[in-house]
Every structure is written in structure tokens, then in C-alpha cells.
Chains A and B, each alone.
Chain A
Amino acid sequence: MSVRVGKTDRAAAFPVAAKTALKNDQLRANVRRATDTIRGKRALRVEEMPDWQQLRDTASAIKAHTLRHLDEYLVEFEKNCELAGGKVHWARDADEANAIAIGLIRQYSEGNSHVEVIKVKTMTSDEVQMNVALEAAGITPIETDLADMIVQMGHDEPSHIVVPALHRNRFEVRDLFRETMHRPELTAEPEDLTGAARAYLRERFLKVKIGVSGANFAIAETGGVCVVESEGNGRMCLTMPDVLISLIGVEKVIPRFEDLEVFLQLLPRSATGERMNPYNSLWCGVHAGDGPKAFHVILLDNGRTKLLHDEMERETLECIRCGACLNACPVYRETGGHAYGSIYSGPIGAILSPQLQSLEHSRSLPYASTLCGACYEVCPVKINIPEILIHLRGRVVREDQATLGGKLAVENLAMQGAAAAFQSQRRYEAAQRLAQAGQMLFRKGDQLENLPGMAGGWTKYRDLKAIPKQSFRDWWKSRSKGASA
């Protein structure tokens, strides 16, 4: 019984992974172009909404209310979904979710030796590594979102919540498609590549009997599920198979159908800068003569309920996965998503991953931010990401300080020393004088060079003016003396 988020257990700490990413000029150019484009479109579409802030306020209030009553709303959803002909399963963690999915797929494909399932973009399935589990069980998952196809064909990891393949350019995609689809004549024109994806998937949409999806919203009042998409692959996966399995994080539930009027305005504008994305699909259980004959929901915990205890941490679960914080983040802009070592990258990943799964590498994530606040400003549900980052930093420090190694770590000693100095004028002024004198070891003209320890991270890349001989308080004292003399 364990929480697992993607392949994070093998990830490097953020500063290490970021260093690798920073060397990849192609990746950085792709990420910049993509995030600049979406950011610009988003700004345009938000500007035309005079009630944007009011929508954010309501969205945040609905989510906060729902999470406070999550048990009631999940039970209500379960009841209504089953009344409509669906079946609800509950999964404590990744393994349990995968086991349920595999069990259902086997049950519905009895006698078939080669079983395929078609999938519509779901981050939650990446989170539980469902594709790995399916393959191990002899089931072939086929990703149908264009970007997810690119990621799957390249044996790659998603680098963005909404546009998972934004780190790839058209030439890379062309090469992948040529090889996987056996179409050596393909050009790098996006029209050509999109057409190839259409042709490649159409026959699978028609013949594969089982579909797997996630959900953007699960509606307690109706037991309905909503999937937001652009390409139509979602509609295909949700409509054409005989069996549909939807993996839904427990935080995706909203109370009522009318609440969609808030989220369907916020999500598309925040995610892709569209007034409305091309397609939204909603359904309740099974509909006679239309779409799948069997519908299963797997409600997933996988660490989410741990976040409910603390009011600030709980806010993390309000996320509607729009990716606006990634596009706005100046850190993500430089590194792309892979540096975060989790399928959840960028600012939201930096708070979500360490809370879902406490791992060594995720301890570096709360520090992967300058706290510039750009993420909070664009968040459609007003998650105060900088505040939560600081809160999580506090947790990392407290955990470190509980160990002898942590107590004796250079950073902790320096912080304790500084805190002590700041508590007394005498000690503070003494420290100032010590710094003024001590800097002589590193002084070259009016600059400091090759500082030791953490400060070395500064002088390695940046210049630094030497500490002036006279501090401000020295000036003030001498001035007062002059005045009284």
C-alpha cells in the first residue's frame, strides 16, 4: 500500500535536473515559444472578461466548500452515478487503481489474447503509471491525444500538464511518426503530422472495445462526468467503445451541474487561451443506444486525503490542472517540465508532488521558485502557491532539524547564527564588522570573488560589490555625533 506519483522515485533533485535541462538549447527554445504563445493568448482571453476576478472568487469558494465536505459529495456522486447505470470503485493508491482497471479490462475482454485499450489524455493515469501496469498485464494502451501519442511513441515523459509534448519540435515529431507509423514520406508540416495521427488512430477508434479516460469534473448532483478537450479523440474514446473506465481523483468532484458555469469559463481561457475549447463531453452513467454499454469509475486517493488535514495544504487540491501557472512561471520557462522529476511540473507540481509523495528529490521542489507570485496571479482558482511553497519549506526545515546531520548542516548553522545575530544590536553590529573584515580574503579591487560555501553559487556566475567600510548605521552615528558636536 503506497502512494506513487509517476516515476518520481528515480528522479534527481531539482537543481541537478535543472542543470541538465539548461544545457538543452532546443528544449529551452521550444518551451519558451510554447509558453510565450499560450501566455499571450490567455492574457487576451482573460482581458475580455470583466468578471474574471469574481469567477476566480467563486471557483475558489466552490472548491474550498467541496473539499470540506468531500466525503458527502463523493457519496452523492457514487449514488447518482450508479443510479444512472455506472459502477463506482474506490482505490486507495496507484496499485489498487491499476489492479481494478486491469481486472475490468480482463473481465470485458475474456478470450481475447491481444487486448488493446484506447486512452484519452489523463494526467491521473500517468500519475499511477497505468500504462506500465497495463503493459505488464499484457494489455496494450493506445494514447490518442496527439501530444500523448508523441510522448508514448518517444518513450518519453510529459513535460507539461496541458501540452505534454511541448518540449518536442515538428522535426522530432516527424521522425517519431515516420518510424512508428511506417510512413517515411511524412513531412514536418503540422498539418501533415496531424493528418497522419488521424489516419493512424481512426481504425483503432472504430475497433477497440475498451476506452480509458480521466475527468475534469465529476458532478455529485447528477453523477455526471465531464471531459474537456480539443481534438475529438476524447469524444471518440468516450463514445465509440463498448466499455468506458474513468479514473478520477477524489478532488475532481463538484457539487452541482450549475457549478460548471464557473469552471467552464475559467478552464479553457486559463489552459489554452480559448474562449471555449472545441469539445466538452458530459455523460451520466450509460445512455441507452448511445455510447458505451458499461461505465466504470475508479475514484482515486493516492495521497490526496493526506492534504485535507491542513487548511493551507488542502488548497492544493483545488487545482483544475489548467497549466496556467506553468506558462507564467519564470523558472519553468528556463527548465521545462522534466526538471521537476514528476509528471506534475511547474509551480503546481512543486507543491503537489512533495505533498503526495515524500521523497528525497521532492524536498528540493519547494525551493524551485523565486516566490515571484506570477503563478498565484494567473491561477483560476486562486491557489496561493507561493504561500504553500513557503509552508512546505518550513516542513522540510523542521524535518531536517530533527536529525543530527540536519542540525549540523552548514545552512542550518548559518541560519541559526544569523537569527542569533539579528536578536541583539551588539551581536548584529559585531557580525557586520566581522563581515567587513573577513571579506578581505576574497576581495579583488572593489569586488568579491570565489566566496566559500553557498555564497560561492553567487560569485561563480555573478559579480558582487565588496561590502562598504561604512554601514548605514555607521553613517547615521557619525552624523548624529557631528550634529551634536
Chain B
Amino acid sequence: MAKKRKWWSGLLVLSLVGVLFTGCSTNNTATNSPNATAESSAPAASEAPAASEPAAGAPVDGGTLVMSSFSDIVNINPLMINDTSSGDIAEFVFSKLYNLDREGNVKAEPWSLAADVPEISADGLTYTVKLKDGIKWSDGQPVTADDVVFTVDMAKNPETGSPLTSQFDKVKTVEKVDDKTVKFTMKQVYAPFLYALVQAVVPAHVLKDVKPKEMQTNPYGTDPAKTVTNGPWKWTSWKQGDSHTLDADPNYWGEVKPHIAQLVYKIYADQNTEVQALLKGDTDQISAIPVTQVEAVSANKDIHIIQKPGAQYEYIMFNFDSKNFKDNYGLFAGQKTRQAIAHALNRQGMVDNILKGVGALMNAPFLPDTWADPGDAAVNYDYNAETAKKLLAEDGWVAGKDGILTKDGHRFSFELQYNAGNSRREQVAAVIQQNLKEVGIEVTPKAIDFAAWIDQNVTPGKFQALLLAWSLNTPDPDSESVFSSKYFPPAGQNSGWYKNEKLDQLWVDGYSTVDQAKRKEIYKEVGKEISTDLPYVFLYQYGQAIGTGPRVHWAEEDAPEPSLGYGQYFHAIKWWVTD
């Protein structure tokens, strides 16, 4: 299955607390390639000091770094991780086969389990991974090919219910060649697979007797004493709903050892209390300062803020299933109608005023400045109400008595759904309502509790239009599972019932070759087609502000990288703290 994406895992947590305290959660497990996103988001200026700022003196060993979140973990077993906080802890206590560099390339770093980049056969069907010598679990046992094979087999087994299934379901077989070598044979050429290898493994010697069905309830991943790990830090204690303690593992195998002796991961009730704690110095780093508070926080000279657009983008999704409309009359059937809506929206205004400049316009589902960004090949819809009106008229819409457009006796009036408690989305919805009113379209924004919304509207594809975001889990541009007609609800994520045969084929072409130059051409074509046909109005890529207190230091090349998933901890192994 194609690229796995997430809907705002953090928002789940906020759905209730968020009603009381405004704030939008942008915590997520996003990954994305590029380093250039900062340039694309013009005016971040004063709030974004040089990323290298915290470097002060030579690294020192020891000390405690306090990080925080507003939601606790669920399970840090790499087979079961599916929420931001669990992923946060796993970042420190598990080593992965491969890691991403700042540009989003798959690399064998000194802290990766693999010795070198995978060997890919000429036909693109086999991947051979060689492990490093001397890599060990925290209980002293070696990390071997058996662990990798066990992990992948377990992930593939549907009975496990692992969120990793879709990452590995195109693997035909995974075999141990020798203790240090694993060979993956694919069912078909599947280019995004490389990113699936940026993955932690579980210890076969600990879990080999656990039935797949029982993996989720096994204490491995929820009991620190039973969770054998292989990363630079080990998980020492967990006070549920309060904090986690991670201590540097004295037996860590890596050549590069962590400077920081202890990591504390504190759980706060919401983002606002987290920000207060950062100002007070109770926490040293928070991964997302709410947009509304960035200015206030940056007034404190001790707090270092890194703010760039990240691996997430917001969009309006149209529903093409006419059953969702009055008299089964789909309002978004006309391509010109959709294009008119894109022209009617002041997207740049949203970026400037609501995102305070930390965002970049998008015209296709590929993040700006990544290798798959189609650039000018995609149609850019400028803010132009006149063009919008013209296109609407060409599509047969005429103004009714009340000023609202009508066609075949149907008023152009629809409901725009979004989730309650997300202040950014509330503001954007209001702008959309206003912008479209100006061209004769009536929009009724409707905020719904997140869980109810996903359950009753998004997953089954029952809505007229919605305002939502994708958080990209891998830097690969493949988005078949979102836009292909193979993935209609309830089995897939094409919740808007969009069908375009040309695109359906292009997505398959895109992942069926590992030749990057060829893929680039294909995604350029995708960008052109999708931005013309517009199943979504792509709004903007947006970002979150990482705030760090004065005790934390890093060299320039090890600074947090917001465009990567868990990029707030990028190269944390090399950071140090002072008191």
C-alpha cells in the first residue's frame, strides 16, 4: 500500500482539552525530504534565529534534558507505534536500520543498525541489508538478522494488527542470509520501500513466543523493565500521565555516544501549560508552540525558536459522490467550478495572516522544494475573484435572487466540515466562507468533534467538503492511497470518491520504477494533471515552532530539522546540556 499518512494524531488528544484552551496540535510523525522549505516560506524572519545558535563551548557529558508533550505514550513497541508520543520515546531508545539525513535521504549513520545503504538489485526487486558488527540489545544480546526477519514477518502478519502492515505488504519474502545479512524480495517494484527500512526492530529473543494477536497486550512496549531496547538511551521509568525517564545506556554499542546522561519526557495537560513550563524552565524543549503564542514566547531571549514549514499540508477536499448532496446533485462535478473555487480563495492571505508567514503555497500534493515538487508544471491559482466568477459562469452557474449562484435549480451552498478545537482551521474556514461568498457561493463551516467526525464522516466519505491536513510519514511522493480510485472508502483514504483514470495509472507508474529521474518526470505529470483537475484545493504547507530553552546546545549540523518526522530531535545524540 502506498505512503502511510496520518491525520493529526496529536489532535486526538486535544479534542477535549482543546475546547477549554485554544490551540492546535501539530505534533505529528511527519517526515519529508527537503532542506529548502525555509526559503520557500518568506517572512519567518525575526522569529527564526539561525539554527546553530545554541552552540556554546565544547560539548560536555552528563546532565538532564527535559522534553515535553501534551499526550502520553500508548505503546513504544516498534511494531505497534502509532502515536506521536510513543514515537518520541522510541526515537531515543531504539536504533533504526537506517536514518534520514537533513535532506531526507536514507543513510547508514553511525547510530544506524545497518552498515551501509541497502543493495538494490538491477530489477528493483530485492533489497539486501547488511547489519553492523557489534550491535547489541540492552540485555547484552546481539542484534541479528533474526530480529529483522522476525520484525518484518510480525509486521506483515495481519493478525498482529500492526500499523506497519502497509509498509511491508509489498514484501514477498524476508530471509536471513547469515547472522548479519537480510534479503527482502518484493512482489513488485515499489520505490517507496527504501523509506520503510528507516525502521526500528524488535528483539526476536524476547518476543519469539508471543502470538501475533497478543503483541498489542504484551508488556513489551508498556513496561520499561520488560522493554529491551538497542538505542543510546534506555527506558528507565514511566509514571503514567506524568513523565518518562530515559538514561544513557552504558552498554550502548555505537561509536558515537550520547552526551546527555538523562532525558526526562514530561506530560502536560495541553500546549499552553507546556509553553508556560518552557518559559519557567521546567522543560527544555517543546516541539510545537501554538502559532498564537510564538510572538510572546520569542520575546523571551532565553528561548530559541526554530520555525519552518514542516511535512504537513492543508487542503479542502471536494466530495464527488453525489449522494452527499441534496437531490443527488453533486455541486463539485464541474472542473471549472473547482478551478473557480481555487481562484476565489486568498491562500496567500491565509499564510500571511493566519500562519504568520510560516507556510508555503502548494498546488499539488508534493511539498515545495522536494525532488517531486512539479514547480511551474502545476497550475497556480492566483487570488482573483473575477476569474473565479468567469469560470463559474462558463460552467453554467448564474446568480439567483439572493445573490447565491444556481444551476439546474440548485443553489451553490455547501457545508465545509472541520474538526472542533483547532483554532487555525477555524480561522481558515472563516476566510473560505468569506472568500466564496464574494463569488456567490454559500459555505456553512461546521466544526465537529474529531473522533465523531473521523468515525462518521471522513472514513466513510460522507460529507460535502472538508478542511483537513495530511501529515506525511515518509519523504516519498507516492500518494496513491489518497487519490487513486482503488482506495475508495471504507477500504482506503480516497474519502472524496475521486476518480481519474489517468492519475490512477500515473501513481502506479510512479512507484513501479526505482529510477529517480523517471519518477521525477512522472510526478511532474501528476502535478500537472492533479492541479488541473483539482480533487482538492491544495492550500499550503505549514509548520510548527520548536522552542528550546537556554540549557540545550548543539553544533550547527546537528540542529533540529522541522521538515523531518521527529526532526525536533534530529541528531539529539550529539546535543549537550549545561546548567
- Tell me, yes or no, whether A binds B: no
B-binding residues in A (CB < 8 A): none
B residues contacting A by CB (< 8 A) are none
